Amino acid sequence: MGTTIREGSYVSAGGGDGLRTPPREDALEKGLASAVQEGSAQAAEGAVIERILSGHQELFLDLIRPHQRTVYATVFALLANKQDAEDVAQDALVKALGRLNQFRKESSFGTWLIQIAINEARMRNRKQWRIPMLSLTDDKDDAKAYIPKDFEDWREIPSTALERLETREALVKALASLAQHYREAFVLRDIHELSISETSSILGISPGAVKTRLRRARLMLRDILAPGLGRDGRLGWASQEVSKPWE
Amino acid sequence: MGISCQEVWRDISDYIDEELDPVQRLALDQHFAECRHCTALLDGMRNVITLYRDERVLAPPADFHERLYQRLGEKRNHSRRSFLVWTLTAAAAVPVGLALFSAARLIVPGRDRQRPASGPDAHQVPETVAISQDQDDKLYHVAGCSRLHGNPKFLRVEEAIRKGYTPCVYCIGKLQPKKNG
C-alpha cells in the first residue's frame, strides 16, 4: 500500500483509560519477530489478528496504530468536517474491531480499514444529506472533454504554504468542492497511494473509471488551487484575472 | 508539435502515473518541451498531488489518539460487562431453574418418581384404589385383588401415590395399557 501506512507517525496515547501495552513477550512482539523472519509485515498483522480473535482484544490498539492517521485522513477528506471526521473515524475503527473475524486477508489490513472508513463516510454523508459546499462537477462530467480554466504558471510550491492553517483549510475546502466520486478516487490514489487495482476494488468500479475520475479530480484541483498558490503562496479560487489563452 | 493540447489534457494524468506506452510518452514529452501552457498544467497537477500528500493537510487533531483509545476501551469494557452480565445471568438461572423444578415436583408429588411401567399413567387404573390397613407392603390394589389382605381402605390413586404406595403387580400390572388417542 505504498506510504499509506505511515510508520512512526503515531503519537502515543500514554495510557488513557487503563488500556495498556501488552507485555513485551506478548503476541505483538512474537508476531513482529515472526514478520522479520518472514520479511512480511502482513504476516505480523495476521499473527496479531489471530491473537485478537482468540480473546486478546487489547492487541487491537497495536494493530491499528500504524493505520489511524490513514483512516482519519480518508474520512476527513470525504467529509471535510473535523468533528464528523473524528466521530466517523472512530466508528470505523470500532466497527473494524467488531468485524475482525470477517477480515479475509485478500487485501492488506490497511486497505480493509480504508474500505470500512469509506463506507462509514458514505453512510454519514447519506444520513446528513450533505451536499458539497461548491460542487463543480457531477457524474456527467466524466464523459465531457476537459478544458482547463487557466494556465497559471505554478512551478514552485511555496515552502511555507502548508505551515499556514488557512492554506490547509483551503486545501480541504477545495477537495470538498469536488463531487464525492472524484474525491474518493483522488484520496485513494493520490493521498494514500493505492494502486489502480486496489482503488478499483475498493470503489467497486473499473480501472478505467478510476483513471478517468482521477484525471478529472487532479485537473479540477489544479484549476482551483493554481491561481493562488502559483502566485504568492496564498490560496485563492480561480479569478477573472488569470490568463486564459484561448479567450 | 506532434499532438494537440487537448490530447495532452486527455493523457496528462496517465503521464504522471507513468501509465503511457513509450511512444505516447515521447509525444507528450515533445509537446511539453514546446508548450508552456501544458507544462504549467503538468506542474500544477504535480504540485497538487505533492501538497495533498503532506501529512499536515489531513492530520488528525492532537488528542485524536487519546479519544480513540478511550472509546475502544469503553467498548472493551462494555463487551466485558456484557459477558459478565451474561455469565451472572446464566449462573443465576441454574439455581432458579432447579428451584422451579423442585417446586414443580412438590406441587405434583410422585409424578416422576412413582411411575413404574404398571403405574396409573400407563394403565387403566381406576380412580379409586384400595390399600391394606393391616399390611406394611405399601401397595395399592384394585378392589377385590387376591393379594389385598386385612382391613382395606379406599382412597384416590393420586393420594395413594402421594403417600408412597406403589401399584400391585398382580392386579394393577395386569390391567391393559391405555390406548393413545
> With contacts defined as CB-CB under 8 Å, which chain B residues touch A199?
none
Q: How far is it, in rounded angstroms, from Cα A174 to Cα A121?
A: 18
At residue A34's C-alpha, the angle toward residues A33 and A37, to 5°, is 90
Q: pLDDT class for A25, splitting at 50, 70, 90?
A: very low
For residue B39, the distance in angstroms to the closest alpha carbon of chain A comes to: 8
Residue type, A78: L
> With contacts defined as CB-CB under 8 Å, which chain A residues touch B53?
3, 190-191, 193
Measure CB to CB from residue A90 to each of B50, B62, B71 and give the nearest one: B71
Chains A and B: how many Cβ contacts under 8 Å?
Answer: 159
Residue B128: helix, strand or coil by DSSP?
Answer: strand
> With contacts defined as CB-CB under 8 Å, which chain A residues touch B42?
none
Q: Nearest Cα to A19, choosing from A66, A60, A54?
A: A60
* Helix (H) or strand (E) segment spanning residue A70: helix A68-79
- Residues contacting A103, CB < 8 A, separation 6+: A49, A109, A112
Question: Helices A109-128 and A41-53 sit at what angle, rounded to 10 degrees?
Answer: 70
Residue A173: CA atoms inside 13 Å, Cβ hemisphere, count? 13
- Residues contacting B129, CB < 8 A, separation 6+: B140, B141, B142, B143, B154, B155, B156, B157, B160, B165, B172
Our measurement of the distance from residue B145's CA atom to the centroid of its chain's CA atoms, rounded to an integer in Å, reads 57
The three grid cell numbers given for residue B76, joined into one nine-digit string: 472493551
pLDDT for A6 beyond 60: no
Give me the pLDDT at residue A247, please. Answer: 34
Q: Give ipTM to 2 decimals.
A: 0.72
Q: pLDDT class for A241, splitting at 50, 70, 90?
A: very low
Residue type, A95: K
- The order of strands in the sheet holding B166-167 is B152-156, B128-132, B139-141, B166-167
> Which residues 9-38 of A have a C-beta within 8 angstroms of B?
9-14, 16-19
The three grid cell numbers given for residue B124, joined into one nine-digit string: 387403566
Cβ–Cβ below 8 Å for B60 and A76:
yes
Q: How far is it, in rounded angstroms, from Cα A40 to Cα A35?
A: 5
> With contacts defined as CB-CB under 8 Å, which chain B residues touch A238?
none
Give me the pLDDT at residue B148, please. Answer: 82
Q: How far is it, in rounded angstroms, from Cα A214 to Cα A211?
A: 5
Percent of chain A clearing pLDDT 90 (strictly above)? 46
Mutate to test the interface with B, among A10, A60, A153 (most CBs of B within 10 A): A153
Residue indicated by cell numbers 473499473: A206
Model confidence over A181-195: pLDDT tens digits? 999 999 999 999 999
Measure CB to CB from residue B72 to each of A76, A86, A94 and give the nearest one: A94
Give me the pLDDT at residue B155, please. Answer: 87
Q: pLDDT class for A107, splitting at 50, 70, 90?
A: confident
- The residue length of chain B stands at 181
Per-position pLDDT tens, chain B of length 181: 589 999 999 999 999 999 999 999 999 999 999 999 899 899 889 989 999 999 899 999 988 988 988 888 776 666 666 555 656 666 667 666 677 766 666 665 554 444 444 444 445 678 888 888 887 788 888 888 888 888 888 888 888 888 888 888 878 777 755 444 3
Give me the pLDDT at residue A72, please. Answer: 96
The answer to whether residue A148 neighbours chain B at the CB level (below 8 Å) is yes
Q: Nearest Cα to A2, choosing from B17, B43, B42?
A: B17
- What's the predicted TM-score (pTM) here? 0.62
Q: How far is it, in rounded angstroms, from Cα A152 to Cα A174?
A: 17
The answer to whether residue A59 neighbours chain B at the CB level (below 8 Å) is no
pLDDT for A209 beyond 60: yes
> With contacts defined as CB-CB under 8 Å, which chain A residues touch B74?
17
Q: How far is it, in rounded angstroms, from Cα B34 to Cα B40?
A: 12
* Helix (H) or strand (E) segment spanning residue B72: helix B64-107
Do A151 and A243 form a contact (C-beta atoms < 8 A)?
yes
Q: What is the DSSP string of A13-27?
A: --STTT--PPPTTSH
Q: Are strands B166-167 and B152-156 parallel, antiparallel or unpaired?
A: unpaired
Which residue on chain B is closest to A214 by alpha carbon?
Answer: B13
Which residue on chain B is closest to A57 by alpha carbon?
Answer: B76
Q: Which residue has the higher pLDDT, B78 or A146?
A: A146
Measure CB to CB from residue A146 to each of B9, B43, B48 and give the nearest one: B9
pLDDT for A73 beyond 60: yes
In order of A8, B159, B176, the CA distances from B154 in angstroms are 93, 10, 22
